[in-house]
Structure 1
């Protein structure tokens, strides 16, 4: 199915509206199966109120160009004067609405994001490990002093060593902080991609092992905690 544009009115005190794009797997309409969901958080240059700024961009673009992409992809648009940490409540409301209205495998909810979205991915990992079960920050940053919040969270971080916007040290510092407290984190470093969103996102999600890893992360029925099969 092609990516479609939507507007979500969050039932919140400030009457929040969230523009978003939705990708459904090609066989969604012909099956009764539930599908894992990836929340994708874009970078700073895609902020605004024109949803078409997300056309041909990000994980939804990757999904559209794969015949057998097995995930629902939700790509909200961040308002021009905001960032993903500020939009946390409205984005969780959006995810809840998608769960209610689509066949989502509620044991397999993931977050991925690039640059500002990578920062948002780290942040959501620290705040919602009970809802989302794995996180893929790309070219992002976070506060290493908050590493203790991520000790049990499955994370696979990606960054380019010659990133000219967000230094690779931002990811290296997080990896070091997590390793120092005995936490495990997967990390992949690219070369030659700089801070090119298209290249970094494409290279990240061209990794078949990443998809295998994501699908192994799920909640246990009994506890709601993440289980890595």
Structure 2
């Protein structure tokens, strides 16, 4: 059989699709790190550019094949569209899609709320009747396109679930509402299963082929009823479920992002609402959720799939791999995987960033070096990295898409702890007492939780984060051993003389149309006039994005390591 899945490269969000040829055990055994036999979204296996054309993708996140026609459907997330390839075209590297849903043409990527638009489509599934199901994440709904293999470009969906109509987007926790749906699976008994991620539950809709707009769900797991939406870590609770799959033995598999596991519900058709899971992979028990890059552990899971041979495939995004478990339904809790794709073996996974959801401060990405013996007293310098305005929200994958977090995964020799917090959608990193207090509290929490060298805490940020870097330093000047703003400016009334003694290295693009160069130059001039000695690098060939080059330059980290409060 052929297994499609999306493999994330080290350059976060420059994602391409690979086609692995998996031959059933009766014909030939699987092997670790099987090479891909084809690629879609790029012309070859070594390219990784995003785009909005008929043969390009921008963060693809879901894939399905129509069992009737063999046509391929891909959820092209950041382009807010679903692409369809012909049954033969999908086998050719870099081939062009034949049809697009969610847009009127292949060169448009706008989001929207209607029967013919998407806002962050995450997963696709094609059932045995040829109906395409799409999880429209930020529109908090599931869309159904009937006879999808024959629909033309820009076609409207036929049915919506999670909302009463195609122009309504009200997230909720009820029998007919959803909040961030992701995983989709339609089983052989015409039942639709959906992971309702932010409600921390799985919903089942019976008689999927005849459902009408806004239909009620018939069954729920992860919650005791349809009106509860709390997360938890137990055999009856879930925390941000991402994928769902029903095997031929009536066992339901659910993978969870924050609990870092895949749980199994045996004979799920006979279970009642809120029933307990019967097995778990990725963790030793139902009360553990530690990230693990070994053979029996996982990081942030993005999908769970299976095949007719009884194998289960876990898409382990954090560890850049797919784990394969033979005879999965009979495996004990915490079982070892049998095969791995995307890595040469089970022990070569790179260091990855953990997603930490902290209601008391801010959600953040955490990067921690492995070898504490390489530093004095086992303490590491800490970098606080502030993102730009486009990464705000409550989904940490957004933060991974740019700046310092984008280059961190796989950097085994990076000698810093890095915390990259996420700014809520309703605010900014600067001119906000509440957000600055939370940032300061986050640093206090990090010192307690992680091996931080308190004399070497550094602050950096780009664009909105560059401005926030200056605001934070002015508010807490004794906290930081050095600051590194990129594409920055200040607000009227800020007293830069407060930070004149903090080691400062700023970066800016000469042709920046968002924050003109003179505004950054004014900051540097003021610091000099206050008696400071700031460093300032102007990139003569760059526009607003001065951070990609900066964060990719080893010299800036060597400079940071020379700075200490003592």
Is residue 36–residue 108 contact of structure 1 (8 Å, CA) maintained in 2? yes
Offset at 1:193? Answer: 2.5
Is residue 48–residue 78 contact of structure 1 (8 Å, CA) maintained in 2? yes
1:45 alignment partner in structure 2? 390
Q: In the comparison of the two structures, how many residue pairs are matched?
A: 211
Offset at 1:205? Answer: 2.4
Task: Give the unaligned 5+ runs of structure 2.
Answer: 1-350
Partners in 1 of 2:492 and 2:506 — Cα distance?
A: 14
- Cα distance change, pair 208–185 in 1 and its aligned pair in 2 (3 A): same
- Cα distance change, pair 27–57 in 1 and its aligned pair in 2 (3 A): farther
Within 5 Å, which residues of 2 pair with 1:15-30?
Answer: 17-28=361-372
Partners in 2 of 1:52 and 1:9 — Cα distance?
A: 17
TM-score (norm 1): 0.85
The equivalent position to 2:442 in structure 1, one of 94, 97, 106, is 94
- Cα distance change, pair 161–128 in 1 and its aligned pair in 2 (3 A): same
Partners in 2 of 1:24 and 1:35 — Cα distance?
A: 9
Within 5 Å, which residues of 2 pair with 1:80-119?
Answer: 80-85=425-430, 86=432, 87-119=435-467
Offset at 1:212? Answer: 2.1
SS at match of 1:136: strand
| Bigger shift: residues 67-76 or 136-145 | 136-145
Partners in 2 of 1:164 and 1:26 — Cα distance?
A: 40
- Cα distance change, pair 72–141 in 1 and its aligned pair in 2 (3 A): same
Is residue 403–residue 551 contact of structure 2 (8 Å, CA) maintained in 1? no
1:61 alignment partner in structure 2? 406
Offset at 1:46? Answer: 0.7
Offset at 1:48? Answer: 1.0
The equivalent position to 2:381 in structure 1, one of 11, 33, 36, is 36
Is residue 380–residue 417 contact of structure 2 (8 Å, CA) maintained in 1? yes
Is residue 352–residue 408 contact of structure 2 (8 Å, CA) maintained in 1? no
Offset at 1:58? Answer: 1.9
Higher RCO (C-alpha under 8 Å, 6+ residues apart): 1
Task: Give the unaligned 5+ runs of structure 1.
Answer: 11-16, 221-229
The equivalent position to 2:481 in structure 1, one of 116, 133, 140, is 133
Partners in 1 of 2:404 and 2:529 — Cα distance?
A: 32
1:122 alignment partner in structure 2? 470
> Which one has the bigger helix percentage?
1
Offset at 1:65? Answer: 4.5
The equivalent position to 2:561 in structure 1, one of 193, 215, 222, is 215
Within 5 Å, which residues of 2 pair with 1:134-213?
Answer: 134-143=482-491, 146-196=495-545, 200-213=546-559
Is residue 357–residue 364 contact of structure 2 (8 Å, CA) maintained in 1? yes
Q: Specify the structure having the higher radius of gyration (Cα).
A: 2
Partners in 2 of 1:30 and 1:108 — Cα distance?
A: 16
- Cα distance change, pair 144–185 in 1 and its aligned pair in 2 (3 A): farther
Is residue 37–residue 104 contact of structure 1 (8 Å, CA) maintained in 2? yes
Partners in 2 of 1:64 and 1:52 — Cα distance?
A: 13
TM-score (norm 2): 0.36
Is residue 144–residue 177 contact of structure 1 (8 Å, CA) maintained in 2? no
- Cα distance change, pair 174–30 in 1 and its aligned pair in 2 (3 A): closer
Partners in 1 of 2:396 and 2:556 — Cα distance?
A: 28
Offset at 1:37? Answer: 0.4
| Bigger shift: residues 38-47 or 50-59 | 50-59
Per-residue Cα deviation, 1:177-227 (whole angstroms, up to 9, x for no partner): 12223221000011333113xxx223112333322221111122xxxxxxx
Per-residue Cα deviation, 1:148-190 (whole angstroms, up to 9, x for no partner): 2122111100000011111111110111112223221000011
SS at match of 1:79: coil
SS at match of 1:9: coil
Offset at 1:115? Answer: 0.3
